[in-house]
Amino acid sequence: MDKILINNMEFYGYHGVLPEENRLGQRFRVTLTLELDLQKAGKTDNLHDTVSYAEVYEVCKEIVEGKPYQLLEAVAEEISKLVLEKFPRIEQVTVQLIKPDPPIRGHYQSVAVEISRRTSR
């Protein structure tokens, strides 16, 4: 299957279990892998035969910068659900959601979840 990758989109949101995460907010990074047939788009050079990266970006922005969730898992699930609903050409989406600066003591680069969901069509 062909893939479109949209890497390291960065947003500011208010997700987390701790009260300060909901009050102060923090950065989140999202990487999407969209699986779909890109052959027709490659032959026609027509946006209507693929998926608009800008529109996918806006879906992610709306979710990450919108309603607060406690868990990264819930944010990732909402992104995958909306992407598959709004873009019927996409057969599978993989969402990697990274929290670069969680309020956890210790030395690490980030925490993240990654989920893959397929369309049920």
pLDDT digits (tens, 9 = 90+) for 35-76: 999 999 999 999 999 999 999 999 999 999 999 999 999 999
> Mean pLDDT score of the chain, rounded to an integer?
95
pLDDT of 103 strictly over 70: yes
Q: Which of 16-20, 80-84, 111-115 has the lowest mean pLDDT?
A: 16-20
What does the block give as tokens for 78?
A: 């909402």
Among 43, 67, 86, 99, the active-site one is 99
What does the block give as tokens for 22?
A: 């909901």
pLDDT of residue 121: 64
Rounded Cα–Cα distance for residues 68 and 111 (Å): 18
> What is the three-class DSSP state of 120?
coil
Q: Which domains, from first to last, does the chain contain?
A: 3-118 (3.30.1130.10)
Helix (H) or strand (E) holding 55: helix 53-64
pLDDT of residue 26: 95
99 part of the active site: yes
